[in-house]
Structure 1
Amino acid sequence: MAANGWQRRRIWAVLATTAALGLTVTQAQAASGGSSKPFGVRELREQALLHQQKGLSAFAETGKDGGDNEGEEIAEQADQYAEARTSPGIVAPGAYGAAYDALSTLPHTTGSWSELTKLPYDSDDPRYRDVNSNSSGGAGKVTGRVTGLAADNHGYVYAGSANGGVFRSSTGGGHWTNISDRLPALSTGDLQLDGRGRLWYATGEANTSATSFLGTGVYVLDNPRYGSFSKRDRVGGDELESTSINALRFGGDKVWAATTRGVWSHSTRTLTGAWKLEFAPNPDYLPGGSKASDPSAAYKNITSDVAIDPKDPSKVVLAAGWRGGDTYNGFYAEGKNGWERLNGLGELPTKSDDVGNVTFARSADGSRYYAIDQSPAQTASNPDSGLDGIFVSKSGSPTGPWTKIADYKQLRDSGSALTGSGYQPGIQSWYDQFLTVDPKNPDHVYAGLEEVFETKDGGKNWTVPGPYWNFGFPCWSIDPTKQTGDCNQTVHADQHSVATGSNGGQPYVVVGDDGGAFRRPLNGSADASGHATDWTSLNDGTMDALQYYSVGVGIDQASRGLSVSGGLQDNGQSILRPGDRVMGSNFGGDGGDTIVDPANGCNIAAEYVYLAVSVTQNCAVNDGSWTTDPSKATTYSVAPPDNATNEARFIAPLNADIKDANTWVAGGRHVWINTKGWAIRSGSEWSGAYDLGAGHTATAVASSGGKVYAAWCGPCNNQGFTRGIAVGNADGTGWHQLNLPADGTVPNRYLSGLAIDPADSNHVLLAVNGFSRKWTEGPGAGVGHLFETRDGGATWKDVSGNLPDVPANSVVLLKNGTVALGTDLGVLVRPAGSSTWKVAGENLPTTAVLQLRTGPDGRLYAATHGRGIWAIDVRSLC
């Protein structure tokens, strides 16, 4: 039987590590006790430690299991994040704009939010060199994903973050200031400076493909060095709302936008008037079309880039296609009969199976065009890479002829850290891509995949100035007195954006990835392996673009202050302790849900993904010895069984009983109970309380005094979406499925949050994600975002009131009776005794708040997915 996704990740990691250590698979299994069961990062690092102790070569972990997330995990993350907001259908343009307008009419409560994470976050912090962390990998100080970059020749750099907006630096990077907080959307698709020095901001992050729900169009800032964006800066109308924009390209007096709903254009001289739809491969699937309600509609009009002939801007080539493959995938140019598929481009493939995600870049002198192409066929069939190749058109024309100048094997052999079977350069090329050409040298190119690649001779030879990480290189060691042994700093993994600029006549390149922004001289220095010696992290804490899924707060026993932890997209778990000037990272990879002991902030349960839970009782502080001795270990893997069977959501729910901090509930296909709290040491110590059913998986769990509620979905995508709620006791008794009638009392949408009244476990609040039926084309979408039961779920009432129609993610019932709701546009509250909603406090950015939790200090904590962790005094919310 074929391995499932989770097993494939682990199998690949085993093979990669055994190859790096010069062992056979049989030897590796023997070293682990002869087991054939795939194992993850903790076991891999334990094996590495054993081999190091025997005097073998330094550990070469080229895998991602437990490190930075890999292609399958990113795809699953993107799809599941989208599912919560789009199921049971697709979202029509205008949804977020309308929600923002409605929110703008609401009054605010008193009080202001405090930003807790606006300080550097060191992924290589030597305090936390536990076996489950990535510390010493070499990325250094990081922040959230940077998906758009622009730079000028006067030291100004503009960075667009995944869901935190646009930041400006006047010092070549660092000392950032946000310039987009007055916009309704803070998700970045692209950033471009035009010939007049104007900054164009395309909203709607392109990297999540089908998650086209955060964009509200394109904005232009006339004087980006001093101004900031506002709603009046939008180009055109609402045509590009609720879409993702992959790229903006300029030619003549036009700007072209490659979006998930076709290619559009607009005049660059007159910014009013509607955008023109130039080409949609399957227009019937667009909103309002005859097939708009089809489950596959979101995937039928995806375009990734536009190439414009520098000699004739009327000649344009469009790259269209879903990364997974479709019959419409290919390159298009305008002909006698409109837009026609191109053939005969030389070595650049044109078959639909071979054209996926594409990035173009042209040289300043017009003599070269370059392209990266991801192949859907190879992505599906080749376990090593989905990259078809990197290509050049030496005529400078986007119609070629094109020549292949690199494939994944050539890039692998050029100094890559990704050399193991199952994970080689381009394995995530549907997600990781950038290209740029040195303005003064058309043969000098930077290409971004998982790593940063460089050629100075037009592709004859390649180097890797920015390897994935330093694990596995001879220069690396775990020495806690050094950042990463004798290696130089590298960049974070997973490249998305790039820009070239200069300051004081000194040119540089800036790259954006899952860890923020990094800079080096355009013609920088490198060691003998081609790895750069001169990267500078630009993540000094002033660009707090951290993408949190969760937050947990507890008292620090040493200082009696507070310790704040949280799980992050591709940046592990952060920890901020009293007196810290730099946050540390004590768990690697993706950080999911979190439980922190309110009485002891060093008691932490941290989820990786799919319920891969680990616990620590000392904040995972470690001296760098990577010990595997159970009596000296600082973390313990305690994943419930649904992790091994891949029957949990990518970010699965994990919660503690509100009356007993040592009783935990975890949700996958099953509802799992742990009654040992932080003393748990094995995944076998969870007990199965209830089976939600085949194909069902938990989306939210809550417990009070042993009474447990578990919301679920299954299928969770648009194809037959269903949802439900199960109720029972932690001891496994009394379980039953609630009857959620089909009359829309509780909408057929994603159930994302549960809050139980501590005074009455039959009184529960339910948060519902997605948009109401006005915006969602799908069966049973219903109306409302907050529902209440006072009889244990037998009946429900819509208590949304004047709540804006915006996806709701988390709900908290505060001690004073106030209800707090975390939404995609911030935090809303309904004071006790009131039926109307207010915006919670002042100065919280309008970004997605994925989790709300109260702390032992009486404050409400908000984990935002793009602007860090914030807190506010609950008393101000009354």
Structure 2
Amino acid sequence: MCAVTLTALGLTTSQAIAAPAPATQLRPWQARHLAEIGHQHAQKAGTGQVGPVFSATAEGGGEDEGDEAENSAEATEQFTEARTAPGVVAPGAYGAAWAQLQSMPHTGGSWDHVTDKPYNSDDPRYRDINSNSSGGSGFVTGRITGVAADDDGYVYAGGANGGVFRSRTGGGHWQAISDKLPSLSTGALNLDGRGRLWYATGESNTGATSYVGTGVYLLADPKGGEFQPGNRIGGAELESTTIHALRFGGDRVWAATSRGVWSHSTTDLSGPWTLEFAPNPSYLPGGADAKAPNAPYKNIANDIAIDPKDPSKVVLAVGWRSGDTYNGFYSKAADGSWQRISDLGELPTGAGDVGNVTFAASKDGSRYYAVEQSPTKTATDPDSGLQGVYVSKSGSPMGPWTLIADKDRLKGSGSALQDDGYQPGIQSWYNQFLQVDPNDAGHVYLGLEEVFETTDGGANWTTPGPYWNFGFGCWSIDPAKQTGDCSPTTHSDQHAVAIGSNHGRTSVYVGNDGGIYSRPLHGALDAGGHAKDWKSLNDGTIDTLQYYSVGVGKDPKDPSGRGVIVSGGLQDNGESILRARDKVMGSNFGGDGADTIVDPNNGCNTAEEYVYLSIAVTNNCAVNDGSWTTDASKATTYSVAPPDSALGGGGARFIAPIATDDKNTNSWVAGGRHVWVQDNGFAIRSGDEWKSAFDLGAGHVASAAASSGGTVYAGWCGPCNNQGFTRGIAVGNADGTGWHQLTLPVDGALPNRYVSSFTVDPADAHHVFVSFSGFSRSWTEGPGAGVGHVFESHDGGATWTDVSANLPDVPADSLRLLSDGGVALGTDLAAFYRAPGAKDWKVIGGNLPTTTVMQLKTGPDGQLYAATHGRGIWSFDLHRLGRGHRDDED
């Protein structure tokens, strides 16, 4: 399950550690999470900030250290800064790289989809205190940020970075229908009155996601067709934006984007989009301030409300979630200009009140609903950033609006979020949806961290989809002690909703960080107000899993001796494990999953990073031993976090690097402020066993690390954002000797961009490759952005040669030196291979979806494994490249 935003949590360190445990008895990763939050809030409190908190990248204020990945502010910021620093990336960069990709040659062979199986987050094999198991989410996949449904059983689901899937059976048996597009990042998904499917690319979960899109696409025949690049509406106006919402009024479609509000005719599909309103136009591309570091945050639009009785009356909800002077609601004045609205009744309109906003209208035009997040509350309220839920009983977005719910009313409706510092709306800047029953204007579904429902226009609320079941009296880790009335629930963190019918049965569909779920529109509730009839539609045919890492090792229980265990760390879905003969994946670690180490000779020896170097290790795949206890001393895993972990004083990146030495799996390296080394391998039992090999320096944190034969390379950044961005590479020995910082001037041979990966020649530790994220100076305005993404050194980093050759100019993420001397590279677009002695690169295989390849690993089975951040894990038989390959270790 997710962690929560630092700006939303007002716990001090002592409050976090002393917080009373709920009835569940906190699991270790939950306790780590709460203590981590307290540590981070204490850091923030020390800055003296009293108002809305702006990230350094966004507004030049203090930088919050460490919220949770892609569904937290800091993690998303870190994900973005790795791809943008040292400056702002110009529009068109990704599109140009994709265009170049189309003309590149491919190797032989094809990829095999490893994770095209159901993923059971409640797998009883791993039901111990470190897992999510028994929380009630069931089968899960990656984040779903767009949902649409009709009355003929067709359902469409859009993954955060996985593209659009279609079901003809009311959910399930999914088919990918957008894989030919240059972007698989979903911002919004809508069916219009003519049955056409609109796909807005560019996920807008914070207003500045790294995965911007390439515009809006229209599929005239969604029941039988597939999206093509030629389906794009307009020109390049919406390229490199995020799109929060599409709304229809009259004969126009309106788009709320990260670069203002745009509109287009729905009848004449030719011609460009029209810019309707941008509050700070000088920060748009081509403007005088377009190169300012905070430019991406100055024109964010969240939603659009159109009066159903008069489509010329439009209200815009505009503003960055952390607050800015331009935040507010806008409508068009008589002179045609857009003016801020000062009074909407009980719906607050001040700049500090208006953050993320979602609108929903009833089909009969009698009601308009809104949910509003407050930047001020997000920064100051220790429990929630939610301003409230409101209704306009006139049916007009001009109001007057009346409050019908706040955090306290929702907390009392059966919510699982009862702890101080963790109550409904804690992530309302990230989690929001609203849907009105088309046949009942008083029946509304609300999505925050949980799913809420009212059947009487907001007078009373229930929580049909609680966060999890851990806090309820019906729950016990021991199945024999469960009372039997804990109903399945949805995964947490809600993003999208739709209503549709199949064979006359009407259902509500919700998309969240665990995929897509459905229940009857008028479903059954238990005594606690929780739904008894949720159905997970994540049947394995839809794979939008967002991996950060992958690890592979032999399965000790496979009778053939050839089977492997594949594990990987996931955004908000823990650690997945797939054993050799499994038909269903399980989850043996909870929370987020970050980097991973797996013993190539025994895949049940696994080290999993939660986040911020908070590492746990298991020697039996974390299989439950039957004791059914919440006693950490009897767990199947051990916490072995080094001192730079979330609770340490040194600091670390959200996804911090951990790795084994290429020649000695018992020697591990981990990177925070320090380069940490331990030599006990998977027998480690305590964080005290880590020793600091080198201090990277105050303000510096490791971004990549590799070790071979005791020689360690560590890449670092600090500051890591585009305000003063610096990077470096330190080299030394695992025993702490011989360490030195390489001389890397800003305008030197290596670009001043984020160091993302190393791979070291096992025959010569002085022969090393390094990769860089971000875009070259052709697209990036910033000191020393340079050119190139892959560099090679034969003298331990004293000198470097750019070997990028024909690679597209796109962020590079992961390098792997293969046994034949060839090199594999994972990027934000594809995976590439450079044969030994060759200059140019080729695309590996022909069927890997166009999504981010976060990490490449080679397994003991001769396969190359790719962890993608949006379409699961894939494998490639290296022998298909036409050359022999020895088995490489993790």
TM-score tier by shorter-chain length is over 0.9
Structure 2: distance between partners of 1:269 and 1:722? 50
* Structure 2 residue aligned with 1:745: 749
Partner of 2:648: 645
Partner of 2:718: 714
Q: Distance in 2 between matches of 1:730 and 1:204?
A: 42
Matches of 2:195 and 2:504, distance apart in 1: 18
The corresponding residue for 1:263 is: 261
1:338 to 1:484, Cα distance in 2 relative to 1, 3 A: farther
**Residue number in structure 2 paired with 1:529:** 528
AA matched with 1:289 = G
1:482-501, Cα deviation, whole Å (9 max, x unpaired): 99953110000000000000
Residues 164-216 of structure 1: per-residue CA shift (max 9 Å, x gap):
10000011111100000001110000000011100000001111421254311
Q: Which range moved further: 549-558 or 478-487?
A: 478-487
- Measure the CA separation in 1 of the matches of 2:748 and 2:286: 23
Residues 499-546 of structure 1: CA deviation (Å, up to 9, x unaligned)? 000111111100000000000000000011110000000000000111
| Equivalent AA in structure 2 for residue 826 of structure 1 | A
Query: C-alpha root-mean-square deviation of aligned residues, in Å?
Result: 2.2
Aligned residues: 840
The amino acid across from 1:544 in the alignment is D
Aligned position for 2:730: 726
Identity among equivalent positions (%) equals 68
> What TM-score do the two structures reach when normalised by structure 2?
0.92
Cα deviation per residue 1:702-722 (whole Å; 9 max; x = unaligned)?
000000000011111111111
Residues 4 and 268 from structure 1, CA distance in 2 versus in 1: closer, same or farther, beyond 3 angstroms? closer
In structure 1, how many angstroms separate the alpha carbons of the residues matched to 2:810 and 2:477?
46
CA deviations on 1:435-457 (whole Å, 9 max, x unpaired) are: 00000000000000000000000
1:124 match = 122
CA contact (8 A) 1:478 1:485 kept: no
Give the Cα–Cα distance (whole angstroms) in 2 for the partners of residues 130 and 815 of structure 1.
39
**CA deviation map 1:819-848 (0-9, x unaligned):** 111011110111111111111012110100
Q: 1:531 to 1:4 in 2, by over 3 A?
A: closer
Instruction: Return the letter of the residue paired with 2:311.
Output: P
When residues 635 and 100 of structure 1 are mapped into structure 2, their CA distance, relative to the original with a 3 A threshold, is same
Give secondary structure in 2 for the equivalent of 1:380: helix
Structure-2 residue corresponding to 1:400:
399
**Residue 74 of structure 1: CA displacement?**
1.5
> Could you tell me which residue of structure 1 aligns to residue 825 of structure 2?
821
Equivalent pair of 1:563/1:577 in contact (CA under 8 Å): yes
- Partner residue in 2 for 1:458: 457
Q: CA 1:327 to 1:71, structure 2 compared with 1: closer, same or farther past 3 Å?
A: farther
Is 1:783 the counterpart of 2:783? The answer is no
Q: Which residue of 2 aligns with 1:65?
A: none
Note closer, same or farther for the CA distance 1:623–1:481 as it changes in structure 2 (3 Å cut).
farther
Q: Could you tell me how far apart the structure 2 residues matched to 1:808 and 1:440 are?
A: 50
Distance in structure 1 (CA, Å) of the matches to 2:288 and 2:337: 22
SS at match of 2:304: strand
Code of the aligned partner of 2:254: W
1:211: which partner in 2? 209
Quick check: 2:767–2:794 contact (8 Å CA) kept in 1?
A: yes
Give the equivalent residue in structure 2 for 1:608.
610
Aligned mate of 1:839, from 824, 839, 843 = 843
One-letter code aligned to 1:720: G
5 Å-filtered alignment, 1:80-479, equals: 80-335=78-333, 336=335, 338-479=337-478
Equivalence map 1:683-722=2 (5 Å): 683-722=687-726
CA distance in 1, matches of 2:779, 2:268: 30
Alignment counterpart, residue 858 of structure 2, candidates 844, 847, 854: 854
Unaligned runs of 5+ in 2: 37-65, 883-890
Deviations 1:92-119 (A, max 9, x none): 2211111111001011100110001000
Secondary structure at the aligned position of 1:317 is classed as strand
| Contact 1:129 1:623 (C-alpha < 8 Å) held by counterparts | no
Query: Relative to 1, partners in 2 of residues 1:21 and 1:99: Cα closer, same or farther, differing over 3 Å?
Result: closer
Provide the C-alpha distance between the structure 2 equivalents of 1:665 and 1:299, rounded to a whole number of angstroms: 37
Structure 1 residue 148 displacement after superposition: 0.2
Q: 1:595 deviation in Å?
A: 0.3
* Kept after mapping to 2: 8 A contact 1:146/1:513: yes
**Tell me, which stretches of 5 or more residues in structure 1 are unaligned?**
23-27, 33-37, 45-67
Are the aligned partners of 2:565 and 2:578 in contact in 1 as well (CA < 8 Å)?
A: yes
Distance of 2:880 and 2:465 partners within structure 1: 47
1:309-345 CA-to-partner distances (Å, cap 9, x unmatched) read 1011111111100000000000001112611100110
Distance 1:70 1:653, change over 3 A: closer
Q: Relative to 1, partners in 2 of residues 1:406 and 1:105: Cα closer, same or farther, differing over 3 Å?
A: same
Quote the offset at 1:629 in angstroms: 6.8
Distance in 2 (CA, whole Å) between partners of 1:143 and 1:73 is 15
Q: Which residue of 2 aligns with 1:618?
A: 620
Tell me if structure 1 keeps the 8 A contact 2:24–2:470: no
Which letter maps to 2:373? Answer: Q
Letter in 1 for 2:673: R
Change (3 A) 1:76 1:239: same
Mapped to 1, the partners of 2:586 and 2:341 lie a distance apart of 51
C-alpha distance 746-125 of structure 1, shift in aligned 2 (>3 A): same
Once residues 224 and 9 of structure 1 are traced to their aligned partners in structure 2, the CA distance between those partners, rounded to angstroms, is 51
Aligned residues of 2:24 and 2:472 also touching (Cα < 8 A): no
Residues 93 and 691 of structure 1: CA distance in aligned 2, closer, same or farther (over 3 Å): same
Report the counterpart of residue 567 of structure 1 in structure 2.
569
Alpha-carbon spacing, 1:822–1:8, altered in 2? closer, same or farther (3 Å):
farther
Separation (CA, whole Å) in 1 of partners of 2:659 and 2:795:
22
**Does the CA contact (< 8 Å) of 1:212 and 1:244 recur in 2?**
no
Cα distance, 1:250 vs. partner?
0.6
Q: CA deviation at 1:277?
A: 1.1
Counterpart amino acid of residue 271 in structure 1:
L
The SS at the match of 2:205 is helix
**2:616–2:637 contact (8 Å) kept in structure 1:** yes
Letter in structure 1 aligned against 2:115: T
Q: Select between 244-253 and 280-289 the one with higher mean Cα deviation.
A: 280-289
Which amino acid in the other structure matches residue 133 of structure 2? S
- In 1, are the aligned partners of 2:771 and 2:813 still within 8 Å (CA)? yes
Change (3 A) 1:483 1:433: farther
Range that drifts further, 812-821 or 509-518: 812-821
8 Å Cα contact 2:122/2:136 also seen in 1: yes
User: Is residue 162–residue 187 contact of structure 1 (8 Å, CA) maintained in 2?
Assistant: yes
* Counterparts of 1:798 and 1:683, CA distance in 2: 39
1:550 maps to which residue? 549
Call closer, same or farther: CA 1:320–1:42 in 2, change over 3 Å: closer
Distance 1:426 1:628, change over 3 A: closer
Letter in 1 for 2:421: G
Deviation of the 1:774 alpha carbon: 1.5
Give distance in 2, aligned partners of 1:191 and 1:433: 15
Mapped partners of 1:418, 1:236: distance in 2: 44
Q: 1:282 to 1:804 in 2, by over 3 A?
A: same
User: Partners in 2 of 1:135 and 1:287 — Cα distance?
Assistant: 47
Work out whether residues 477 and 630 of structure 2, in 8 Å CA contact, stay in contact via their aligned partners in 1: no
Report the alpha carbon displacement of residue 162 of structure 1 after superposing the two structures with TM: 0.5
CA, structure 1 residues 630+292, in 2 after alignment: closer, same or farther (shift >3 Å)? Answer: closer
Mapped to 2, the partners of 1:12 and 1:520 lie a distance apart of 38
The 3-state SS of whatever aligns with 1:18 is: coil
- Note closer, same or farther for the CA distance 1:143–1:630 as it changes in structure 2 (3 Å cut): closer
Query: Does structure 1 residue 40 correspond to structure 2 residue 10?
Result: no
Cα distance change of structure 1 residues 309 and 488 upon mapping to structure 2, 3 Å threshold: same
Q: Distance in 2 between matches of 1:485 and 1:786?
A: 56
User: How big is the shift at 1:746?
Assistant: 1.0
